[in-house]
Amino acid sequence: MAMSIKFKRIYSYLENINWSVFSYFDNFYFVVVESTTVIPIHKKIYKVLYNLKLSCDNYNKMDESEYDDILLLIDHIQTSNIMIDKRPKYKRLNVCDECNVLRNITIEITENCNLECKYCYGAFGKLKRTNSVKKEDVELCVDSIFRYPKLSSEIEINFFGGEPLLEYEKLKQFVKYIEEKKHNIKVQYVITTNGTLINREIVEFLKEFNFYVLLSCDGIKNCNDQNRIFKNGMGSFETINKNVINLIKNKIPLKILMLITPYSSKYFASNLKYFDYLGVKVVSSSPFYHSSGINISPMVHSSEFTVLENQLKKYCLYIIEKITQKLDFILFVELRDFVKEILYSNLSNDPICMATNGSGIYIDYKGNIYPCPDFKGTSNKFLVGNTKCDYEFSKINKYIKIMKNTRELPDCKNCLINNICTGLCLSQHIRIYKKYQKQFSYYSTICNFKISLFKASCFLLEKLNKNQLQILLNK
């Protein structure tokens, strides 16, 4: 094949697709952005493609062997790719399936909390809020749930705060009345807690009603106690550690909620290993993304995400080792979910959460109803009802329809994860920019975190075979 023909074919292909390359330590990848086709490549090809991305003039600087290498890559892309070949069976829910069928209910029992976390959304732990749901409003709240016309036959009710265990008696009152009202509805109880108030009586209560516990803890002592402190300034780690062990000993299902800060990012792998040592099976983690102005800032610098990427690679190597040895491992939910997004990227990248399809509501202590907890206190635009009246999901649906797809955003057009990213959720956008805008914008903390997850996911997809991937997806 003449050099000019090779040149034309390469130029024609690469200039007519949205593509990129990236390195992940000593691993290199080519990405067709619009299809999230990811191909592992050699370092030599990476350097050539990187230069082509910088300037079209570099097409004329390639030698014949480089032309041949790029043509082989193009042939590989057009025939198959490592990710598609490894696709295990998996069904992803469509965001439009059964819209406004209510499945997830979060009830704010109290605004009060016994901690004063430095990054708390509740005015960063400093606002003195002691409001709780009134005893006489408990039944009103529950009745409003069970009179909803499109209530699913299986629902999840999450008790939230503040710290809901400060109102343990009201929690019991809620559960007792729900048990009376549920009839043929299957209810999964959940509680979101800071884990400091758990005692023997509470453990027995959680066991009796098969609670799933979402427990906030930022990992090892130095990470957790940097921000998660009692009102007297003392760290909460020792108390939480003891209670986590107690929950696991009593076989109560548990997920750890861990926030990543610039400081804790360099201990991410150590934190996961700590939870693994305790016997925790699942961790959900995300970066702190809005500045409180109280001794803590979001992760914004590229060097901070380089540190996190290194920690994610350590976790990936841990997974590979455990799966290879047929041993159990602690699941980092967000990474597993990103692997799924890459494998099934031909499906819609519409935002999938309970707010976008009307499958969830948040009821605050006053009986006000929002699409999710993050909307509380943002704007009355997102108030969709009250326990004393009917729900108005058409109101929130109007704003969801206005949300821009990530493919339309100028900042996102050439991003590696454009095809699979759901962008900023509506509440994140409002928290960051302090107001509702029709046009969403790039935000470094959340976007860089997602890109870090994407790179780690590609590394996992390259290293695991199809059967091993199935083990990860089934966790």
Residue 297 to residue 227: CA distance in whole angstroms: 12
Domain-located, residue 147: no
pLDDT digits (tens, 9 = 90+) for 50-108: 999 998 888 888 888 999 999 999 988 877 644 444 555 544 444 445 567 889 999 99
Q: What average pLDDT does the chain have?
A: 85
Whether the CB-CB separation of 161 and 94 falls below 8 Å is answered with no
- DSSP H or E stretch at residue 272: helix 268-278
Q: Is residue 52 part of a domain?
A: yes
**In sequence order, what are the residues at sequence separation of 6 or more whose Cβ sits closer than 8 angstroms to the Cβ of residue 161?**
108, 109, 110, 111, 112, 113, 192, 193
Q: Quick check: 82 and 39 in contact, CB under 8 A? A: yes
Residue 382 belongs to some domain of the structure: no
Statement: residue 288 has pLDDT above 60: yes
The band of 290, judged by pLDDT with boundaries at 50, 70 and 90, is low
Q: Is the peptide bond before 235 cis (omega within 30 degrees of 0)?
A: no
pTM: 0.90
* Separation of first and last alpha carbons in the chain: 49
Report whether pLDDT(379) > 80: no
Residue 72 placed within a domain: yes
**Where residue 4 falls among pLDDT bands split at 50, 70, 90?**
confident
| Helix H or strand E encompassing 179 | helix 168-181
What backbone torsions phi and psi does residue 288 show, to the nearest 5 degrees?
Answer: -65, 125
The pLDDT assigned to 56 comes to 86
pLDDT of residue 150: 84
CA–CA distance, 110 with 364 (Å, rounded to integer) = 8
The confidence score (pLDDT) of residue 421 equals 81
pLDDT at 159 over 50: yes
Residue 37 DSSP SS3:
strand
**Least confident window among 299-303, 328-332, 343-347, 350-354:** 350-354
Number of structural domains in the chain: 1
Q: Could you tell me which residue, 138 or 78, shows the higher pLDDT?
A: 138
Per-residue pLDDT band for 293 (boundaries 50, 70, 90) equals very low
Query: 333-343 and 466-473 helices cross at what angle (nearest 10)?
Result: 130
| Dist CA 126 CA 293 (whole Å) | 12
Residue 67 domain flag: yes
The neighbour count for residue 266, using CB atoms within 10 Å, is 14
Instruction: State how far the Cα of 447 lies from the Cα of 452, in Å rounded to an integer.
Output: 9
Residue 310 CB contacts under 8 Å (≥ 6 apart), including other chains: 25
Q: What is the pLDDT of residue 175?
A: 98
How confident is the model over 186-214, as pLDDT tens digits?
999 999 999 999 999 999 999 999 999 99
The yes-or-no verdict on residue 225 having pLDDT over 90 is yes
Question: At residue 350, does pLDDT exceed 80?
Answer: no
Residue 20 domain-assigned? yes
Q: Which residue has the tokens 């009307």?
A: 358
Task: Give me the domain span that covers residue 60.
Answer: 3-85
441 within some domain: no
- CB-based contacts of 180: which residues, under 8 Å, 6+ apart? none
Q: Which amino acid is at 74?
A: I
d(CA 84, CA 332): 23
Domain-located, residue 39? yes
The predicted-structure confidence for 242-273, as pLDDT tens digits, reads as follows: 999 999 999 999 999 999 999 999 999 999 99
Summarize the confidence of residues 140-146 as an average pLDDT. 95
Question: How do residues 434-451 score in pLDDT, each as one tens digit?
Answer: 555 544 445 678 888 999
227: confidence class by pLDDT, cuts 50, 70, 90 = very high
